[in-house]
Structure 1
Amino acid sequence: MSSKVNSSIPGASVQILLFLLLCFFSVSTSVDDLQVLLQLKSSLSKSNTKAFDSWKPESTSACNFTGISCDSNNFVSSIDLPRNKLFGSIEFHSVCELKSLTKLDLGGNSLFGTITDGLNNCTKLTYLDLSANSFSGSMPDFSNLVDLRFLNLNKTGISGVFPWNSLQKLSSLEFLSVGDNPLSRSEFPTEVLNLNKLYWLYLTNCSLEGRIPKEIGNLTELINLELSFNYLTGEIPAEIGKLTKLWQLELYLNQLSGKIPVGFRNLTNLKRFDASTNRLEGDLSEIKFLSNLETLQLFENKFSGQVPEEFGEFKFLVNLSLYTNKLTGPLPKKVGSWADFNFIDVSENYLTGEIPPDMCKRGTMQKLLMLGNRFNGSIPANYASCSSMTRFRVSNNSLSGVVPEGLWGLPNLDFLDLADNRFEGSIAPAVQNSKVITQLHLENNQFSGELPPEMFKASFLNLIDLSFNQFSGELSPDIEKLTKLNSLYLKGNRFSGEIPNSIIQCTHLNNIDFSQNSFSGDIPSNLGSLESLNSLNLSRNQLTGRIPDSLSSLKLSLLDLSNNRLSGPIPQSLQNSYNNESFLGNPELCSSSIRLFKPCGSDSPMSPKLRTILSCLLVFMTLVLVVLAMLIFVRKRKRDRKSSKSDSWDVKSFRILNFTEQEVVSSIKQENLIGKGGSGNVYRLVLDNGKELAVKHIWKNDADREDNRKRHRSVTAAMLMKRSGNLPEFDAEVAALSSVQHVNVVKLYCSITSEDSSLLVYEYLPHGSLWDRLHTCDKVIGRLDWEARYEIALGAAKGLEYLHHGCNRPVIHRDVKSSNILLDEFLKPRIADFGLAKIVQGVCRDDGKDATHVIAGTHGYIAPEYAYTYKVNEKSDVYSFGVVLMELVTGKRPIEPEFGENKDIVYWVCGRMTSRESIMDLVDTSIPIAIREDAVKVLKVAVLCTTRLPALRPSMRAVVQMLEDAEPCRLIAIAIDKSNSMKQFAEYKEAEYKDGKPNNNSNKLSP
């Protein structure tokens, strides 16, 4: 027996030796993994994260590190650090030295740099998530990752041509998300069609074009398919009906046409369907079988026919948006009555019948938008108790009856729009309960009675439009309580009594229209203290007394005091060609310069003899003055010919002038130079009376222009060449500004031209440009607090809104930037420098018709559509204004070295809006932490303005509304109509899956 035991000892020794060697190599490899992770920590050392607190060099194993998992042999198998505030560049060659690595999740951080070829060495990866970071460059080949089942590259920042052919060997792939990256345009990748294990395919916003291939029907495991925000054309293939497991299908913002295909009814598991903003047509009959739908969004198409009655039986439906189609007939009475219904928008169709009564049956409805149809009947009484309602808009229908009393006072109602109907009755006192209402539209109805005093307790109102009703009584002095009021329209009613002096407490008033009423008494003299007032219409009333001189201090684009009983002299400063008709119908008014009115003092008694003597004296003095004037003129002509080549001056005045062209010409000298631009220099002129003006000298000499270009730091695109007569920049600026009068647009007094000189004379803005206040060395001295920045943003937006929507023909500025926003002595903004402006000859449409094809603008502000088209419309100005908003919020220039090569502020901001913390970090550090939430609201507006696709950007009218909603210290949530915002206001959050089922808390969210 002993011999047997002894004979077994050598074998046992060998086993022990092998075990020890295995342990040695295991420990050695684990040590190698530890060093790789410590090197990763070092490269991300500037990260503001606690995740690395446990990553210590003295550790004997990495398996206890935060975010690290190991396999049974103590080799690192998983790096799981999503949304951990990681900052820095990743060296993928090093990370892929972890030979057992199967999962790499770094999504939702602030990683930058390029994704290198080293990633292809992570051959055991089954899970890769690099989403929501700020990488740059193109995606390398990753065809070696053959075991990959989960691939998320959404919002990584990669660009260029995507290596779709890398997908050919990834037959195990189940989850693929490549969307929201600025990729090069390409056809739908056929490589995807062979990945028959896919349950999740997200290719939204990755520049796909062409048709959706019919082979998409082969991906029968799909539960989510998102192809939105691309350039896809043609019809939706019928084969999509084979994807019976789909619960979400998103095709919005493409150019799809044709009908909903036959067989679409087979998608009975579908919960979310969005094909909005396409060119689809036909009826909705295929959709009526999809009874599990929760959200249905088909707005901005060409659908016709009736809304199927079956929609009223959809027991899970919470969102229904069908606006801007050609739908007819009534809505199903039971629609929205089953689930926690949230909103309906069926605006701009041809729908008839009554408003369905039970959409707020469960008390969750927030928005009812049915404007622009042919609905009739009255508002159902049920909505009077819908306390969750934020927007109720039914304008431009045929509704009638008395508005339910409780509707006036819904506690969360922000926007009540009943305009253009046949409503009657009065405003109920319950309106005082509507604590957050900002807009009240009642125009063109049959409302009557006096305004209840409770109405003036709705202190957040910024717009009231009661025009063309039958309201009566006096306007209460309590109007002063509406301190946020911006626009007040009372036109065409029966109001009487005096205009209360207390109205001047409404310091934000921009528009007042009290025309066609019976107001009497004097015009309040203190109206001149309303610095923001832009439009004042008091015509067709019974006002008496003098026109207050204080109105002269206002910068009005509209003044109408016609058809009253006013008397006395018209203030001299109001007498110009733009205002002359504003005083007609007041026979007791007089003027010494307007021929339409009798001369002031013409009724005083005077003897014939005295009249003759005065006439003779007047003739004699006139002759003397003429002779003196001729002598002075001749002497000046001789002097001018020595100093200028000009033979004559052509002066075109647009306002009453109290200076001569010679005063202007003499100011063009070096010591008065205050600015340089791509098209000329700007000089400051001080008149003898102390008034300051700004004079812009447009370049006419090509050599001078080229020399100025070299000196000018900003890169201005496509400066136009000289032509006969005036320069194009000069013509554009005169054409754009000669008829424009708005408090937020720079005031043009006159143009002065000669054979070789072109001058524009403006009001002088003493605080320079917004660029100077934000970015130059003086910004510390004159630092702008957030309130000032907000007011500048709102004022500039109103100026652009006027140019786009308020002129007879829209004016496209084409060079909106912070250096072209000037500030007056009160830091009120003016849009300036119209050298590249374009007056649109018709309505600018998104198809590009009537749009200018000349590239113009400044690097950093130019809209991205310049990369693929020369067509420019108002949405290009909106993009540039969005960049200005980002400057105001972040304090950054549009181009900064920290953004990376060939990157701008838009890329930098959008790449960091991944979490609340990262968004707050974008705000200028000089803005106090307590009010940064207000700044973030404006930043979100800026992001919408800089959306890549022009059609998605809001109009300037919508931008003004959003900025008004974002007023600092507002105590209410922003609630914006989808009718104005389309998909821009939706926030997207990638769903995570467990056992193939969606986590309901991580699906796409909508405000």
Structure 2
Amino acid sequence: MLLPSTFPRFSSLLPLLCFVSILAGVNSDEPELQLLLNLKAALQTSNTTMFDSWNNSNSVCRFNGITCNSRGSVTEMDLSNHMLSGVLPFDSICQLQSLEKLSFGFNSLYGNISNDLSNCVKLKYLDLGNNIFSGTFPDISTLTQLKYLYLNQSGFSGTFPWKSLQNMANLEVLSVGDNPFDLTPFPTEVVKLKNLKWLYMSNCTLGGKIPTGIGNLTELINLEFSDNFISGEIPSEIGKLQNLWQLEMYNNSFTGKLPYGLRNLTKLEFFDASMNNLAGNLSELRFLSNLVSLQLFENEFSGEIPPEFGEFRKLVNLSLYRNSLTGPIPQKIGSWAEFDYIDVSENFLTGLIPPDMCKQGKMHALLVLQNKLTGEIPATYSNCLSLRRFRVSNNSLSGVIPPGIWGLPNAEIIDIELNRLGGSITSDIKNAKTLAQIFASQNLLSGEIPEEISKATSLVTVDLSENQISGKIPTSMGELKQLSSLSLQSNKLFGSIPDSLGSCVSLSDINLSQNSLSEKMPPSLGFLPVLNSLNLSRNELSGEIPASFSRLRLSLFDLSNNKLAGPIPLSLSFQAYNGSLEGNSDLCTMDVDITSLKRCSVRSGNSRHFRTLLVCFSIGLVLLLLYLSLYMQQKKKENYRERSLKEESWDIKSFHVLSFTEDEILDSIKEENLIGKGGSGNVYRVTLSNGKDLAVKHIWNTDSSGRKRSRSSAPMIGKRGVKSKEFDAEVQALSSIRHVNVVKLYCSITSKDSNLLVYEYFPNGSLWDMLHTNKKMELDWETRYEIAVGAAKGLEYLHHGCERPVIHRDVKSSNILLDEFLKPRIADFGLAKIVQANVGKDSTHLVAGTHGYIAPEYGYTYKVNEKIDVYSFGVVLMELVTGKRPIEPEFGEKEDIVNWVCSKVQQENREKIVAMVDSRIADVYREEAMKVMRIAIMCTARVPAVRPTMRSVVHMLEAAEPFKLVGIVVTKDDDSAKKMQVPEAAKLPLDLKN
């Protein structure tokens, strides 16, 4: 307290004290101000408000993202998730003497991290994750106070400085996964960090074995080292980690049994050891009663599913498919919690389907296909309104299908084929508004197809073949505008084929064979725009073949064994192959090349139809002669080729177990099976005797004079027309590709003059077809997103998962094929696109690509690396978001979708930016779609070095998933080991959320 007598003397010092205080404030603030302004100048942002407060008129403590201590010094800098790009100036940042927290996660920062980072010696928290840096990560041995280190998905490569961790005894979180480091054994430095609670090392190229020292990390809550190359047995010391909440080790090469002691992990909620070579039984897991999600698919487990699983009160996800499990499924399984998902397909399970998995009304998928299950389908699933996927095929199920199954309002697929199920398709199907696929062949279904099937407007595939279904084909089926495949063969259908089927404009495959259908064939079928296969054989159809059928160009055409009469339309005669019209005694032809049918006489030609044909023939005679001249020349070449195929000596190399012979393939290389031509050769559709379809690429060599002996997109030809020695190595590299999002190569069949490559075949066409042609479907955003993720994973595998990177060089939506479930496969990558050892890792000089998808640097350097695929994939993402083609008239002359999108973004008009999203995408998903657009813009950056790797693209897409899921869901039904993980923040325990 100041005494009155001293106040005047003290008051005279106030101005001086104030001046000193102000001066001291300037001295402490101004250096840090300049350092932060240097940082601002180094970064770019599309977020115009981020740096608004970063100016000379503000104290640094008032800058957005900055926290100061009581002395006014900067202690924390959090600029995460602000769309920042640029190179971080650590020479400035680390001059902030009191800096303890530095967070730049979820941006687009690039370039190398300088050694200046080691000067931030007071750091306790460092987050550089989810960026697109390059180069190696520097030594950080000096950062001894670090507790949290996030470097996941940052683009770092080379050798990680594991030895830097030796001095970080306080480290609690270490997240370095999803970086393409050099292959290294599991680092022993890590297992010495006894305070670790969170360890994320997935997908960072670890090999060797897990050291037994892993048992030292007794504080661990989360342990993840999936997607690596780790081998050997799981060490029993993992049983010491009794605080574990999540253990992820999928997609490695573990062998042996689940170790004794795993039973001690009683706090474990999420366990995934799928996609390994683990064997033995599951008895060690019967004590883990807190499990929420258990994923052990694609291993070699045997024995029974422990009955204790049926008492697990928290279990919501169970995936055990592709093992060798036997015995029953515990009948109480899933009946306690809000059960979401089960997949125990492709085992040897017996007994009944558990009845109460949808007891809480939350179940989305029931997948028990390809087992030995018996009994009836429990009636409880009739009321499981949440079900999206119902797949019980290839079992020994019997009884009547509960009627409500057909009308599940959210079901996307009902798959019951290859059972002994009876009953009929009920009118409940009118409620199945989202149902896309019905697979019900080879059962005992009876009754009629209800007219109400027309209300299931999302139907794409209907397969009811080989049942006892009777009655007429409903005329209402013409309302199914998305229907692509209709298989009703081998039933008891009668009456006429409804003319309304011609309104199903998406139909590509129709099989109505082996029924009792009668009357005339509707001409409307001849106008179906994408029809590829038509089989009406073994019926009682009468009348003449409609003239409209002349328009069809089919890979399979069969009208045999009916009661058809009259002349065959002339242009159709060219397709009357392989006996497709035999068994119709009253048919006749004017085509001299068809000897299996009788010739039309003049008398029989006096009909009005013959007169019409004669007039048409006369009018087109000149054009026809010209066409025939060209055709015969081509035919002569093809005949020579077909003859030479049979005369040559062939060598077959198989890369999978084959269900066909070399002769079966060679006999099908015919003009009528031709489905495509390209620079790398012709492509044929081959239908095997077992009904399976294959795609065969036929490549002819070229001799030294340049004449065609084999044409290939690859430099496989020596100076004298002999295959170069690299050919076998290249085919072997392609044959080693094993990925669910890359088209499978079954075998190569080679001779001196020809090369045949045999691939799997996809009748549903390509993503281009679905988005841009008259076959297009109303793809919702969830489906588009899944296609984007799957295609990205396929490219990621080609770039990062092969022994030598494979550069596709022609990524486009038409080279992304879609299977029956609309899951994507990367297709049409040629042999020359493998990065050759003698060319160098970074480039090749081969020209390829498609206008609208080609990266800008390709036009002036011809040097390409993986980044050209990233650019092209970015264009595909823009197609998915906007629904537009890469080149559209509205973009302007010489402009493409990339320039169009960038021009919209530069206008900074939010309404115009969001308006780019395809109007077919629901409003609720527009913001989700814009997240993917942001990734597309990053992929199409003009500077190749700025583009992310495909590995980074995959993880960015996974972070942009439309719905935030709790737990981990893995669907075998997606035909891939897809993982939709809990967002990082959601997984962190409360004491680790900073």
Instruction: Answer yes or no: same fold by TM over 0.5.
Output: yes
Letter in 2 for 1:50: T
Query: How many Å apart are 1:724 and its aligned residue?
Result: 5.0
Instruction: Identify the residue that residue 720 of structure 1 maps to in structure 2.
Output: 717
Query: How many Å apart are 1:363 and its aligned residue?
Result: 0.7
Over 3 Å counting, the alpha-carbon distance change for 1:818 and 1:836 in structure 2 is closer
**Structure 1 residue aligned with 2:983, among 960, 979, 989?**
989
Q: 379-388 or 26-35: which moved more?
A: 26-35
Instruction: Identify the residue that residue 772 of structure 2 maps to in structure 1.
Output: 787
Over 3 Å counting, the alpha-carbon distance change for 1:985 and 1:516 in structure 2 is farther
SS at match of 1:66: coil
SS at match of 1:519: strand
Q: Judge conservation of contact 1:716–1:858 (CA < 8 Å) in 2.
A: no
Instruction: Identify the residue that residue 43 of structure 2 maps to in structure 1.
Output: 44
Q: Judge conservation of contact 1:49–1:84 (CA < 8 Å) in 2.
A: no
**Structure 1 residue aligned with 2:972, among 975, 978, 982?**
978
SS at match of 2:409: coil
User: How do residues 114-153 of structure 1 correspond to structure 2 at under 5 angstroms?
Assistant: 114-153=112-151
Q: 248-257 or 131-140: which moved more?
A: 131-140
- Alpha-carbon distance in 2 for matches of 1:596, 1:918: 53
Letter in 2 for 1:978: K
Q: Judge conservation of contact 2:808–2:869 (CA < 8 Å) in 1.
A: no
Corresponding position: 1:652 with 2:647: no
Instruction: Identify the residue that residue 600 of structure 1 maps to in structure 2.
Output: 600
Note the aligned Cα RMSD (angstroms).
Answer: 5.2
- Alpha-carbon distance in 2 for matches of 1:549, 1:402: 44
Cα offsets for 1:617-657 (capped at 9, x unmatched): xxxxxxxxxxxxxxx9xxxxxxx9xxxxxxx98963779xx
Q: What percentage of aligned pairs have identical amino acids?
A: 44
Instruction: Identify the residue that residue 857 of structure 1 maps to in structure 2.
Output: 833
- Alpha-carbon distance in 2 for matches of 1:527, 1:78: 70
User: How do residues 839-850 of structure 1 correspond to structure 2 at under 5 angstroms?
Assistant: none
User: How do residues 25-36 of structure 1 correspond to structure 2 at under 5 angstroms?
Assistant: 25=24, 27-36=26-35
Over 3 Å counting, the alpha-carbon distance change for 1:560 and 1:992 in structure 2 is closer
**Structure 2 residue aligned with 1:190, among 169, 188, 191?**
188
User: How do residues 147-226 of structure 1 correspond to structure 2 at under 5 angstroms?
Assistant: 147-226=145-224
Query: How many Å apart are 1:501 and its aligned residue?
Result: 1.1
Query: How many Å apart are 1:989 and its aligned residue?
Result: 2.2
Letter in 2 for 1:509: L
**Structure 1 residue aligned with 2:329, among 314, 328, 331?**
331
Q: Judge conservation of contact 2:515–2:538 (CA < 8 Å) in 1.
A: yes
- Alpha-carbon distance in 2 for matches of 1:940, 1:46: 18
- Alpha-carbon distance in 2 for matches of 1:178, 1:789: 46
Instruction: Identify the residue that residue 282 of structure 2 maps to in structure 1.
Output: 284
Q: Which runs of 5+ in 2 are unaligned?
A: 607-628, 644-676, 683-698, 732-742, 744-751, 757-765, 780-786, 795-805, 817-826, 887-896, 902-914, 937-947, 956-960, 962-968
Corresponding position: 1:528 with 2:513: no
Instruction: Identify the residue that residue 766 of structure 1 maps to in structure 2.
Output: none
- Alpha-carbon distance in 2 for matches of 1:269, 1:937: 37
Letter in 1 for 2:81: R
Q: How many residues align?
A: 784
- Alpha-carbon distance in 2 for matches of 1:53, 1:227: 41
Letter in 2 for 1:857: K
Over 3 Å counting, the alpha-carbon distance change for 1:988 and 1:338 in structure 2 is closer
Letter in 1 for 2:985: A
- Alpha-carbon distance in 1 for matches of 2:929, 2:213: 43
- Alpha-carbon distance in 1 for matches of 2:102, 2:774: 43
Over 3 Å counting, the alpha-carbon distance change for 1:654 and 1:575 in structure 2 is farther
Query: How many Å apart are 1:575 and its aligned residue?
Result: 3.7
Q: Judge conservation of contact 2:506–2:774 (CA < 8 Å) in 1.
A: no
Q: Judge conservation of contact 2:194–2:217 (CA < 8 Å) in 1.
A: yes
Q: Judge conservation of contact 2:482–2:777 (CA < 8 Å) in 1.
A: no
- Alpha-carbon distance in 1 for matches of 2:269, 2:812: 49
**Structure 1 residue aligned with 2:303, among 302, 305, 315?**
305
Query: How many Å apart are 1:139 and its aligned residue?
Result: 1.0
Instruction: Identify the residue that residue 867 of structure 2 maps to in structure 1.
Output: 904
Instruction: Identify the residue that residue 88 of structure 1 maps to in structure 2.
Output: 86
Q: Judge conservation of contact 2:815–2:828 (CA < 8 Å) in 1.
A: no
SS at match of 2:557: strand
Instruction: Identify the residue that residue 228 of structure 1 maps to in structure 2.
Output: 226
Over 3 Å counting, the alpha-carbon distance change for 1:126 and 1:897 in structure 2 is farther
Letter in 1 for 2:233: E
Q: Judge conservation of contact 1:204–1:230 (CA < 8 Å) in 2.
A: yes
- Alpha-carbon distance in 1 for matches of 2:487, 2:770: 32
Q: Judge conservation of contact 1:211–1:234 (CA < 8 Å) in 2.
A: yes
Instruction: Identify the residue that residue 918 of structure 2 maps to in structure 1.
Output: 931
- Alpha-carbon distance in 2 for matches of 1:255, 1:409: 43
User: How do residues 597-746 of structure 1 correspond to structure 2 at under 5 angstroms?
Assistant: 597-601=597-601, 652=640, 700-701=703-704, 718-723=715-720
Query: How many Å apart are 1:163 and its aligned residue?
Result: 1.4
SS at match of 1:407: helix
Query: How many Å apart are 1:540 and its aligned residue?
Result: 0.7
Query: How many Å apart are 1:793 and its aligned residue?
Result: 14
Corresponding position: 1:817 with 2:805: no
The structure having more radius of gyration, on CA atoms, is 1
- Alpha-carbon distance in 1 for matches of 2:877, 2:54: 25
Over 3 Å counting, the alpha-carbon distance change for 1:836 and 1:482 in structure 2 is closer
Q: Judge conservation of contact 1:208–1:232 (CA < 8 Å) in 2.
A: yes
Instruction: Identify the residue that residue 459 of structure 2 maps to in structure 1.
Output: 461
Q: 15-24 or 267-276: which moved more?
A: 15-24
Over 3 Å counting, the alpha-carbon distance change for 1:911 and 1:241 in structure 2 is farther
Query: How many Å apart are 1:473 and its aligned residue?
Result: 0.8
Letter in 1 for 2:549: L
Query: How many Å apart are 1:947 and its aligned residue?
Result: 11
- Alpha-carbon distance in 2 for matches of 1:901, 1:101: 42
Q: Judge conservation of contact 2:771–2:777 (CA < 8 Å) in 1.
A: no
Letter in 2 for 1:904: K
Q: Judge conservation of contact 1:49–1:86 (CA < 8 Å) in 2.
A: no
- Alpha-carbon distance in 1 for matches of 2:103, 2:325: 47
Query: How many Å apart are 1:402 and its aligned residue?
Result: 1.2
Q: Judge conservation of contact 2:310–2:330 (CA < 8 Å) in 1.
A: yes
Corresponding position: 1:274 with 2:267: no
- Alpha-carbon distance in 1 for matches of 2:883, 2:225: 31
Instruction: Identify the residue that residue 644 of structure 1 maps to in structure 2.
Output: none
- Alpha-carbon distance in 2 for matches of 1:260, 1:426: 46
Instruction: Identify the residue that residue 76 of structure 1 maps to in structure 2.
Output: 74
Q: Judge conservation of contact 2:286–2:306 (CA < 8 Å) in 1.
A: yes
Over 3 Å counting, the alpha-carbon distance change for 1:596 and 1:939 in structure 2 is farther
- Alpha-carbon distance in 2 for matches of 1:158, 1:787: 38
Cα offsets for 1:411-444 (capped at 9, x unmatched): 1111111111111111111110111111111111
Instruction: Identify the residue that residue 516 of structure 2 maps to in structure 1.
Output: 518
SS at match of 1:929: coil
Corresponding position: 1:54 with 2:17: no
Instruction: Identify the residue that residue 558 of structure 1 maps to in structure 2.
Output: 556
User: How do residues 535-574 of structure 1 correspond to structure 2 at under 5 angstroms?
Assistant: 535-574=533-572
- Alpha-carbon distance in 2 for matches of 1:135, 1:716: 34
SS at match of 1:991: helix
Query: How many Å apart are 1:906 and its aligned residue?
Result: 5.5
Q: Judge conservation of contact 2:481–2:503 (CA < 8 Å) in 1.
A: yes
Q: Judge conservation of contact 1:519–1:542 (CA < 8 Å) in 2.
A: yes
- Alpha-carbon distance in 1 for matches of 2:165, 2:184: 15
- Alpha-carbon distance in 1 for matches of 2:97, 2:707: 66
- Alpha-carbon distance in 1 for matches of 2:123, 2:290: 37
Q: Judge conservation of contact 2:493–2:517 (CA < 8 Å) in 1.
A: yes
Letter in 2 for 1:265: R
User: How do residues 396-545 of structure 1 correspond to structure 2 at under 5 angstroms?
Assistant: 396-545=394-543
Q: Judge conservation of contact 1:896–1:905 (CA < 8 Å) in 2.
A: no
Cα offsets for 1:717-756 (capped at 9, x unmatched): 65432455799999999xxxxxxxxxxx9xxxxxxxxx9x
SS at match of 2:974: helix
SS at match of 2:372: coil
Over 3 Å counting, the alpha-carbon distance change for 1:793 and 1:467 in structure 2 is same
Query: How many Å apart are 1:45 and its aligned residue?
Result: 3.7
Over 3 Å counting, the alpha-carbon distance change for 1:458 and 1:728 in structure 2 is farther
